[in-house]
Amino acid sequence: MGLEYEGTSYHGFALQPNLRTVQGALEEALRRVLGHDVRVTAAGRTDSGVHARGQVVSFSTEARLPDAAIARAVNTFLPCDIVAADSVEVSQGFDARRCALRRSYRYTIWRGQRRDVWQRRFSTHVPDPLDVDAMRAAAERLTGQHDFTSFIGHASQQRAGGSPVRRVTTAEWSIDGSLLHFDCAADAFARHMVRNMVGTLLSVGRRRRSPDGMREILWARDRRVAGPTAPARGLTLMSVDYENQESHS
């Protein structure tokens, strides 16, 4: 099932006791449609305040409903800030998380002098002058397969216990009027990875670091040498790619 949501009023995607989460709202809506308890798996476990335009979730059900009917029915029970885009039956072994080949995120910055009423939930306000060319050069140095320890929160590494190596296939800045977008795609992301990259790239834009400094940061494998974590509200999960499938977005 493809899913869009505004993350502003949620404590992230993943279920947490006594907190409002996207997973909680979705599983409750699915329970009402399918008539049984449902546990969903998401391609990207977005953090508190992070949005999604192309989240993908998978779940098992014995209910016999036409593919698209599930999304339509679920939408009548979902809150106004979550919407199911589509639903399709997949093979038994499919898992939205494990089978995902690539996740694409976009981080948006509002560069106007004044804070903006309309973009405030979906962007971070950076009124300072930014050297976008330097930010582009720095971003380029993050593409490829690297040990991203310097861009991953300690807690995340301890919890996950997995490899900090990721393959970043896209890391590009684009200008759209007073908005500045950072598009980043990788096989997978660790927690806060995009936001830590953005915080570091912004310090390059402010000329506090050089683009070449990115390599040293990667080599250091130390979270303390990279920049701060950019705020969640600027981040959106745009799409997830699977084998033999078009991009879900």
Which of 37, 47, 187, 212 is catalytic? The answer is: 47
Q: How far apart are CA 13 and CA 51, in angstroms?
A: 9
Number of residues that bind a copy of itself (CB under 8 A): 15
Q: Does residue 67 have an active-site annotation?
A: no
Footprint of a copy of itself on residues 70-129 (CB under 8 A)?
75, 80-83, 85, 114-118, 120
Q: Which is nearer to a copy of itself, 120 or 215 (CB)?
A: 120
Alpha carbon of 168 to those of 5, 81, 104, 171: distances in Å? 25, 30, 10, 7
Q: Which is nearer to a copy of itself, 117 or 224 (CB)?
A: 117
Q: How far apart are CA 195 and CA 182, in angstroms?
A: 10
Q: Which is nearer to a copy of itself, 4 or 140 (CB)?
A: 4
Q: Where are any strands of DSSP class E within the chain?
A: 2-5, 41-42, 51-58, 82-86, 102-110, 124-125, 144-147, 165-176, 179-186, 235-241
Q: How far apart are CA 249 and CA 247, in angstroms?
A: 6
Any idea what the Cα angle at residue 9 is, between residues 7 and 12, rounded to 5°? 50
Q: How far is the CB of 118 from a copy of itself (least distance, A)?
A: 7
Q: Which is nearer to a copy of itself, 64 or 114 (CB)?
A: 114
Q: How far is the CB of 233 from a copy of itself (least distance, A)?
A: 11
Instruction: Using DSSP, state whether 145 is helix, strand or coil.
Output: strand
Contact track, a copy of itself, 158-197, x by CB under 8 A: ----------------------------------------
Assess contact for 11 and 20: CB atoms under 8 A.
yes
Q: Does 4 sit near a copy of itself (CB under 8 A)?
A: yes
Q: How far is the CB of 54 from a copy of itself (least distance, A)?
A: 12
Q: Which is nearer to a copy of itself, 218 or 232 (CB)?
A: 232
Among 5, 10, 107, 151, binds a copy of itself (CB under 8 A): 5
Q: How far is the CB of 45 from a copy of itself (least distance, A)?
A: 19
Q: Which helix (H) or strand (E) holds 204?
A: helix 193-205
**Which distant-in-sequence residues (6+ apart) come within 8 Å of 241 by Cβ?**
100, 101, 102, 103, 104, 247, 248
**Binding residues vs a copy of itself (CB under 8 A):** 4-6, 75, 80-83, 85, 114-118, 120
Active site residues: 47
